[in-house]
Copies of this chain bind each other. A is one copy, B any other.
């Protein structure tokens, strides 16, 4: 059986997140329905990780074992897109080795978080940004973000209810930059705790407003106390941007 990796984009607005749940509209369920329709039998899909309700993706990765060989791999995106709802798009498909698993073969995940700092965001931007309606000091934000680097205990940014055995994660990169009229926070790590990205963004924006700089923010990180985190940033600004796998990186 061929193992096929899909790169998936979705608009999270009308989804209760990635993972299948009873009686909820989820991305995984819509995809499995489309796969079952094409293959005329149930097909299980393995995502690289969950995303929460309202979170978007441009580069989610998910693999499945195709029970039939008659569909050329390169035809999957078009075949699936023609039956999927418009808020899910398959960006690409490729065959991977039999032991490849989107979750366990992933070496890092990159998220982008979009923030609108101007007075009012346009209506069509609203579902895809956090509108904070004030200017920020991007240099100070970047000095604080630079502390998020390497192997570290991220307990400050763990949501209540997170069931991870360890709160240690390896952060490769965390930085702010401007893109058009938006402020973007990019973070790349081997893995994330539940709601960790939104907790980090919320904390950085919260403490930036309070006038904190790197040395003050170091204390927040090192407290390992989640009551010290700022309010969790809303889901609509968050995009799962890219999953990297061993020896591969799509955007080097």
Interface residues of A in 1-25 (CB under 8 A from B): 9-11
Q: How far is the CA of A115 from the CA of B91 in the complex (A)?
A: 17
What number of copies of this chain does the assembly contain? Answer: 2
Q: Are B89 and A11 in contact (CB under 8 A)?
A: no
Query: Interface of chain A, helix or strand or loop or mixed?
Result: mixed
Neighbouring B residues of A77 by C-beta, 8 Å: 119-120
Return A76 CB to nearest CB of chain B, in Å.
12
A86 CA to B88 CA, complexed, in Å: 22
Minimum distance in angstroms from A57 CB to a CB of chain B? 8
Complex: how many Å from CA A119 to CA B92? 10
Shortest Cβ gap from A128 to chain B (Å) = 6
Instruction: Report whether B124 and A56 are in contact in the complex, using a CB–CB cutoff of 8 Å.
Output: yes
- Find A81's partner among B58, B120, B128 (CB 8 Å cutoff): B120
Interface residue total, chain A, C-beta cutoff 8 A: 24
Q: How far is the CA of A108 from the CA of B215 in the complex (A)?
A: 54
A144 within 8 A of B: no
Which residue of B has the minimal Cβ distance to A84? B123
Chain B CB count within 10 A is highest, among A120, A127, A239, for: A120
Closest to A87 in B: B123
Given A120-B77, A120-B81, A120-B91, also A11-B126 (CB < 8 A): yes
Contacts of A126 in B (CB 8 A): 11, 86-87, 89
Q: Does A121 contact B (CB under 8 A)?
A: yes
Could you tell me the distance between the alpha carbons of A86 and B120 in the complex, rounded to whole angstroms?
Answer: 11
